Structure 1
Amino acid sequence: MSKNSIIEGLLADLPEKPVPVRSVCIGAHWTAVCSTHCGLAATIIGEEVHDHTIVVRDAGHLHEKSAQELAGYALSKNPLEAGIGVAAINSLLEVNEQNAAEINAADLLMEKGAGKTVALVGHFPFIQKLRERVENLQVLEIHPGEDEYPKEAAAEIIPRADVVGITGSSLVNHTMDGLLDLCDPNALVIVLGPTTPLSPVMFEHGADIIAGSRVIDGKSVLAAVGQGASFKQITGVKLLAFTNPEKRI
């Protein structure tokens, strides 16, 4: 029997009682769903510019669904729907901040990756700074830039890394499970970015540290997301990191 995917595990761990959706906002960079809390996920439209085949089921009526119904969209092959689903999952998570460190994922990677070989999945704004701090940095990206590798190189690069950083956005494009499976059992694995669910389910699938975001001012976040803000432009968000309690780091 094959094990459940991360998304299936997250969905199974959500509250059973339906929770009303207060609002849904799909911005240029981020998608926000507000239910019990406000959850974020990356907005991924597709590989092609102006791909009009990418449409959202029941658009205009999403706020009439329960948060659990929207969370089910995370399983969709449509990246716009999957982003809504992951954001809905994040909106339902209860997070105990007493167990968290309030730290930027970039600082965490620089600390843990100092003098080591680091594989980073996703293009982050701190890459140049990180490159200066670690022994060897290899970046994997769907659309690789200078000094970056295509996604096809993951099977060669990730197993050889001492520290692996994986963008939480890989949940949206359904590559997270495969990427985690590639990691060496002795490597330190960090899932990072605002899309990352702050849930122990992530630890069950191989993450050692999860470094994501917690919305503390939903009104400010919705306004920024709806106006096309990048994450740096969003206020009302706290950065939190959790370590797998069953692993010494």
Structure 2
Amino acid sequence: MAYIDIYKNLVEASLSLARAKRLKRVCVGIYYTMVEIERGGVGLAYTLLPEVKKCCELRNEINFWKSSADVVVKGYLSGNPLETIIGLATINAVFNHKKDFLKDAILGDIFSEIKLNSKEEILMIGYFEPLFKKLEGRVEKIWVIDKPIEETNLKISDISDKIKLAIITASTLANKTLHSVLENLENIPEILLMGPTTPLNPEVFRFTPVTWLCGSIVKDSELLFKMVCEGKGATSFFKSGVLEKINLRVKK
């Protein structure tokens, strides 16, 4: 099944929520980009630093501070990596402010909810070092793919019958590779989309193989803004308490 529409669906799901809202501030950090909406939510997206550095500079007429949130959201579908990541962070800010999406959320470590068997093998798309170290020894094997699928020697089809759970970095939404990843994971029972870039809207993922959205909510926007400006990353965010882990089941 093709999942290429996932990016367009994210934009469509957020547009009505973004209308009549404006961006309060934006920071493009070296690890994460943060967007805060006036009287609204705060969202993060993984910064595609190599792509941003290679790309041409944005035209003067393209601005983000005080811009209409719905206009910025549409930028997620543009070909410019800077507009893409700021658009995605804005989408996340809009979703994070929608309490209806979070009413069934489970806070904290998802692996308090999902029990692992010591004989299971799991797949990690994107290397989460703290999580890898935590799970190592609790399962039989952790397969890691930390580069584009087409560039790796490991074929998911060769191991998919062994895999009971897959963890996908949500940065695949920033570089728009998630659809191709999902096409290789359709027979895996549990698929977790994980990281601060994760959009907290289960309905968007209902018709994909994703079973859990493992993202985060912002507890202190002022401190988070400062940390993003200082080039801090996810590990620092969680250790300082500015982010709290949150998990949403995707109902099928």
TM range (shorter): 0.7 to 0.9
Structure 1 residues 158 and 62, CA gap change in structure 2 (3 angstroms): farther
Unaligned runs of 5+ in 1: none
Q: Distance in 2 between matches of 1:59 and 1:222?
A: 24
TM-score, length of structure 2 as denominator length: 0.83
Q: Secondary structure at the residue paired with 2:127?
A: coil
Q: 1:140 touches 1:151 (CA, 8 Å); kept in 2?
A: yes
Counterpart in 2 of 1:244? 250
Q: Secondary structure at the residue paired with 1:68?
A: helix
Counterpart in 1 of 2:207? 204
Structure 1 residues 207 and 158, CA gap change in structure 2 (3 angstroms): farther
Q: Distance in 2 between matches of 1:82 and 1:8?
A: 12
Q: Distance in 2 between matches of 1:95 and 1:158?
A: 39
Q: Distance in 2 between matches of 1:140 and 1:169?
A: 13
Structure 1 residues 114 and 213, CA gap change in structure 2 (3 angstroms): farther
Q: 1:190 touches 1:210 (CA, 8 Å); kept in 2?
A: yes
Unaligned runs of 5+ in 2: none
Structure 1 residues 67 and 113, CA gap change in structure 2 (3 angstroms): farther
TM-score, length of structure 1 as denominator length: 0.84
Counterpart in 2 of 1:164? 166
Q: 2:186 touches 2:209 (CA, 8 Å); kept in 1?
A: no
Q: Secondary structure at the residue paired with 1:70?
A: helix
The Cα offsets for residues 139-181 of structure 1, whole Å up to 9 and x where unpaired, read as 001289xxxx954635445634221110111000111111112
Q: Secondary structure at the residue paired with 2:30?
A: coil
Q: 1:95 touches 1:198 (CA, 8 Å); kept in 2?
A: no
Q: Distance in 2 between matches of 1:59 and 1:124?
A: 38
Match of 2:234 among 200, 207, 231: 231
Equivalent residue pairs, number: 238
Cα shift at 1:187: 2.1
Q: 2:169 touches 2:194 (CA, 8 Å); kept in 1?
A: yes
Counterpart in 2 of 1:8? 8
Cα shift at 1:61: 2.1
Percent identical across equivalent pairs? 24
Cα shift at 1:78: 3.4
